[in-house]
Amino acid sequence: MRNLLLAFLALTLAADPAADRKVVLGLVDVCAQAPKVHEAEGFKPEGTVRAIFYDALPWQGKPTRVFAWIGLPARRTGKVPGIVVVHGGGGTAFKEWVQKWNDQGFAAISIAVEGQTDVNENKAKGRPTWARHAFSGPARDGTFADTKLPLKEQWMYHALAETMLAHSLLRSLPEVDASKIGVMGISWGGVITSTVIGLDERFAFGIPTYGCGHLFDAENHWGRALHDNEGYIKTWDGMNYAERVKMPVLWLSWPQDAHFPLGCQAEHYRKTPGPRMVSLITKMGHSHPAGWNPPDSYAFAKSVVETGKPWGNSPSATTKDGYAIAVFHSAKPITKAVLVSTTDRGFTGARKWVETPAAAASGGGGTTASAPLPPGTTAWYVNAYAGALTLTSDYQEIK
């Protein structure tokens, strides 16, 4: 009944997207102080990793808390870098993800942004059903289906705030270097990450994995859900804040992702002025482990905290005389390059992608890779490899 009343009130008031964006931009000030932390009873710590709750913003007039796993590297000298990691749909706060970052020398906090813990109430095989706790905030309502509610009652408002509060919590730890904390999100967490990097300029780097903005014209379920959703388009889409992204960002995905189109990702990263790196990993798959297992996120983060910039980038990609040509700058030796192309049209995740060896030549402070475009090519990019790491040129559509 309360939600119906709130929806009715929202519909009777004229929306003001500029005012809403101002409120969203102000979230970083609202969340600048480290939240109060409560130990999570009944959750067994493992090494330096422990479960906590931390205070978040009120929802429907009630106080809320966020469940999280937080940990420090077992071996450390001086202050360590850190990272906030945000799960995707069907996920939660993952202890394993924290441990993986701890093994790389980073403090980490993995947060649950839908009012849940990591206790699975679904005893059968299949998608987990995570138990909600007594201080839960809102759960995600479909694909931004709650944008008719007042701004501060919407799930995305709280998910962004919870991510910034986790950042403030990490910054408050004496063991952590506050100037070297990044954020990574997978799938829906990638959507959150692609927006929060345009809001919280305290982050040192961002790693949106699969997820991105500009989804209102996607040629799949995102486009169908969001094409006429003014709340998403004018307030929550990270494109609204992309020009504020000055930090280095790794855009991590793969060509056959069934959810997030490469074109939408490219629209987003082309609007960000900060240093960017793209990694489109062949046969990556779409899942939490598929997102956190590749070495690319860890190598990128280490490069940024150690040198202040990504270990590689691709400053240009073009076509000439029937050839695809991409230039790469890399601090690591490039071992090979391939052209990845398609002759299909429509949603990128449903297209057939073909790999063709590319010639790579060093000179002028970089590596130039080139390969003939197959007849009828509709989209392409070039992957350059430094051992197991993937460095990708900007995605190109041929009209």
Which CATH number is 186's domain given? 3.40.50.1820
DSSP bridge pairs for 252: 209, 279
Strands 336-342, 379-386: pairing is: antiparallel
What number of other Cβ atoms are within 10 A of residue 153's Cβ?
A: 18
Task: Tell me, yes or no, whether 387 and 347 share the same domain.
Answer: yes
Alpha-carbon distance values, 143 to 82, 125, 155, 280 (Å): 30, 25, 10, 25
pLDDT at 12: 40
Stated as kind and residue range, the H or E segment containing 345 is none
User: How long a stretch of residues is the chain?
Assistant: 399
Residue 104: helix, strand or coil by DSSP?
coil
Let me know whether 51 and 199 are in one domain.
yes
- Residues 175, 52: one domain? yes
Residues paired with residue 274 on neighbouring β-strands, in sequence order: none
Q: Are residues 187 and 335 in the same domain?
A: no
**Contact (CB, 8 A) for 205 and 304:** yes
pLDDT tens series, the chain, 399 aa: 445 444 444 444 446 999 999 999 999 999 999 999 999 999 999 999 999 999 999 999 999 999 999 999 999 999 999 999 999 999 999 999 999 999 999 999 999 999 999 999 987 777 899 999 999 999 999 999 999 999 999 999 999 999 999 999 999 999 999 999 999 999 999 999 999 999 999 999 999 999 999 999 999 999 999 999 999 999 999 999 999 999 999 999 999 999 999 999 999 999 999 999 999 999 999 999 999 999 999 999 999 999 999 999 999 999 999 999 999 999 999 999 999 999 999 999 999 999 999 999 988 789 999 999 999 999 999 999 999 999 999 999 998
How far, rounded to the nearest angstrom, does the alpha carbon of residue 21 sit from its chain's CA centroid?
20
Residue 373 and residue 304 share a domain = no
Distance (Å) of CA 363 to CA 66, 220, 330, 381: 51, 41, 12, 21
d(CA 391, CA 374) in angstroms, rounded, equals 22
Q: How far apart are CA 290 and CA 284, in angstroms?
A: 6
Same domain flag for 109 and 57:
yes
pLDDT for 15 equals 63
Which amino acid belongs to residue 239?
Answer: M
CB-facing half-sphere around the CA of 116: CA atoms within 13 A: 23
Q: Are residues 25 and 168 in the same domain?
A: yes
pTM: 0.95
The structural domain count of the chain equals 2
**Helices 155-172, 188-196: inter-axial angle, 10-degree rounding:** 70
Note whether 295 and 345 are same-domain residues. no
Is residue 81 domain-shared with residue 178, that is, in the same domain? yes
Q: Are strands 116-120 and 130-132 parallel, antiparallel or unpaired?
A: antiparallel
Three-state secondary structure call for residue 295: coil
Q: How far apart are CA 335 and CA 323, in angstroms?
A: 21
Domain boundary among 294, 310, 326: 310
Of the three residues 250, 285, 310, the one that is the final residue of a domain is 310
- Torsional sign, CA 301, 302, 303, 304: positive
Residues 262 and 362 in one domain: no
Do 254 and 384 lie in a common domain? no
> CATH number for the domain including 371?
2.60.40
Domain boundary among 262, 290, 310: 310
Provide the pLDDT for residue 1.
Answer: 43
Residues 391 and 274 reside in one and the same domain? no
Helix (H, G, I), strand (E, B), or coil: what is residue 362? Answer: strand
Three-state DSSP class for 119? strand
User: Are the C-beta atoms of residues 268 and 262 closer than 8 Å to each other?
Assistant: no
Q: Would you tell me how many other CB atoms lie within 10 Å of the CB of residue 285? A: 14
Q: Give the domain extent around 344.
A: 316-397
CA distance 164 to 29: 10
What distances in angstroms separate CA 180 from CA 208, 211, 269, 276, one per listed residue? 17, 23, 22, 17
